[in-house]
Amino acid sequence: PIGPVKEVLQYAKSQMPPQKIMMGQNLYGFDWKLPFKQGNPPAKAVSSVAAVALARKYNVPIRYDFTAQAPHFNYFDENGVQHEVWFEDARSIQSKFNLMKEQGIGGISYWKIGLPFPQNWRLLVENFTITKKG
């Protein structure tokens, strides 16, 4: 959800100059089995491409939570187990890019760039001047 991301950036800005802050960003989502029970296996990480494929496979609509600025959906698997999936898409990434610009922070770093999310790279180039350091 974008609310806690904004809170963390605002706190970080209260502790250091904004140009020194790099926002960490994931390029994946999670598929949780419901209901959650203590001791059950953790949620499974899914790429944005895999999340969309799951929604198509189970013929369920992808909804967008405008408060969280994130897409999500629910489905029942072949065993009748309910799942809830939250992931990143072009809209959710763009909202985070807008937040970065609004907060004036130094940049972004990615976690797990090996999962497919082709829209991200186009949005990155359209929103920022890319510089490589090191």
Domain spans in the chain, listed from the N-terminal domain onward: 1-27+93-112, 28-87
Q: Backbone phi, then psi, for 118, in 5-degree steps? A: -60, -30
pLDDT band at residue 113 using 50, 70 and 90 as cut-offs: low
pLDDT tens, 85-104? 999 999 999 999 999 999 99
7-62 pLDDT, tens digit each: 999 999 999 999 999 999 988 999 999 998 888 889 999 999 999 999 999 999 99
The pTM is what?
A: 0.88
Rg of the chain over Cα atoms, rounded to whole angstroms, equals 17
pLDDT exceeds 90 at position 134 = no
Cα–chain-centroid distance for residue 47? 10
Measured CA to CA, the distance from residue 24 to residue 53 in angstroms comes to 26
Question: Average pLDDT for residues 59-71, to the nearest whole number?
Answer: 98
Q: What is the CATH number assigned to the segment(s) 28-87?
A: 3.10.50.10
HEC sequence for 35-88: CCCCCCCCCEEEEHHHHHHHHHHCCCCCEEECCCCEEEEEEECCCCCEEEEECC
